[in-house]
Amino acid sequence: MKWGVLHFPGSNDERDTIYALESVLGYHARLLWHGDRNLADCDAIVLPGGFSYGDYLRCGALARFSPVMEAVADFAKSGGPVLGICNGFQVLCEAGLLPGALVQNRGLKFRCVPATLTVENNTTAFTLGYEDGAQAVIPIKHGEGCYVADQSTLAEIQDHGQIVFRYTSNPNGSIDDIAGVCNREGNVVGLMPHPEHAVDPLTGVTDGQPLFRSVDQWKQAA
């Protein structure tokens, strides 16, 4: 199992994600440069957190045009597991690989706090390892994590089980308390909280571990 972690200019959790995958969870993981046009035969892809291109235009709006994103789109279409964390989630929405969009927190401030999530769909590539309805504490750290979608999109993702995580106490004004969503097939998941910062017992909670481990089950089932 080899993970690829994308590196856009301005990404800043990419090395933390590699550390979580390699040193804590024991996987192979490597960085993939935004200018690359292939995914180096990786089995799963993570778009990490950070501020790609400074988020100066609109978060994720520029990164989606990176050459590597064409390969990610092909990989996703062929059923490959793709995870977007925070800025990575924003990029996946901008790229049209996930529904909805993320805008500034309703409180207008950046928030860095542990968040309690409920697993709403435990059949995706990144939630198979959780019990249905399980709760997980995973930190958030974002200024633009308020999930929005128009009425029809919201109804559609509700109907198709595409809401993957909800906040138990909404920190940013997200519609329907949504913390993470997936595509119809469940192989592409995006969430604002940072599971890579919830794996190492030394630095805090470990509720993010099952999220990464889920991919093993997903691959076996495939």
Partner 1 sequence: MGAPVTKATNYRVAPEVTRALGLEHGLTDGEYDRVVEHLGRTPTFEELGVFSVMWSEHCSYKSSRVHLGRFPTTGPRVLQGPGENAGGIDIGGGMAAIFKIESHNHPSYIEPYQGAATGVGGILRDVFTMGARPIANMNSLRFGRADHEKTPFLLGGVVAGVGGYGNSVGVATVGGEAHFDAGYDGNILVNAFTLGIVAHDKIFRASAAGIGNPILYVGSKTGRDGIHGASLLASSEFKEESEQMKPTVQVGDPFTENLLIEACLEAMAGDDIVAIQDMGAAGLTSSSVEMASRGGVGICLDLDKIPLRDESVTPYEMLLSESQERMVVVAKQGREDNLREIFERWGLDCVPVGIVTDDGRFRATYRGEEVASIPVDALTDAAPAYNRPIAAPDKPAGEALDLGAIKEPTDLTATLTRLLASPNLCSRAWIHEQYDCYVGANTLVRPGGDAAVVRVRETGGGLAMTTDCNSRYVELDPYIGAQHAMAEAVRNIAVTGGRAAAMSDCLNFGNPEKPEVMWQFSRAIDGMSEACNFFGTPVVSGNVSFYNDTLGASIPPTPVIAMVGLVKDARTTATIAIEKPDQIVVLLGSGEPELNASEYLSVVHGCTGDRPPALDLEAERQLAELCARVIERGHVSTAHDLADGGLAIAIAEMCIAGPGIGCDIDITVADRFDTALFGESGARVLMAIDADGIDSVETEAAELGVAMTRLGSTGGTRLRIAAQGAMLVDAAVNDLHEAWSTALPKIAAGA
200 lies in the binding site for partner 1 (CB under 8 A): yes
Closest CA to 216 of 44, 72, 85, 79: 44
CB of 187 to partner 1, least distance (A): 26
Number of neighbours of residue 141 by Cβ within 10 angstroms: 17
Member of 4, 5, 6, 20 binding partner 1 (CB under 8 A): 20
CB of 165 to partner 1, least distance (A): 18
What is the rounded (10 degree) CA torsion for 11, 180, 81, 30? 20
Member of 81, 84, 88, 139 binding partner 1 (CB under 8 A): 139
Question: Distance between CA 201 and CA 165 in Å, rounded?
Answer: 22
Question: Would you say 19 or 176 has its CB closer to partner 1?
Answer: 19
Pair 141, 105: CB distance under 8 Å = no
Question: Distance between CA 185 and CA 62 in Å, rounded?
Answer: 26
211 CB-contact burial (10 Å; exposed 0-12 / middle 13-18 / buried 19+): buried
CB of 183 to partner 1, least distance (A): 27
Residues in 69-108 at the binding interface with partner 1, rule: CB under 8 A: none
Question: Would you say 99 or 171 has its CB closer to partner 1?
Answer: 171
142 catalytic per annotation: no
173 lies in the binding site for partner 1 (CB under 8 A): no
Consecutive H or E run containing 92: helix 87-94
Member of 1, 9, 170, 205 binding partner 1 (CB under 8 A): 9
CB of 86 to partner 1, least distance (A): 10
57 lies in the binding site for partner 1 (CB under 8 A): no
Q: Number of residues interacting with partner 1: please give it, by CB under 8 A.
A: 30
The rounded Cα 51 to chain-centroid distance in angstroms is: 14
For Cα atoms 105, 107, 111, give the angle at the middle one, nearest 5 degrees.
65
Chain residues in the site for partner 1 (CB under 8 A): 9-13, 15-16, 19-20, 49-51, 53-56, 109-113, 139, 141, 143, 194, 196-197, 200, 202-203
Q: Which of the residues are catalytic?
A: 86, 194, 196
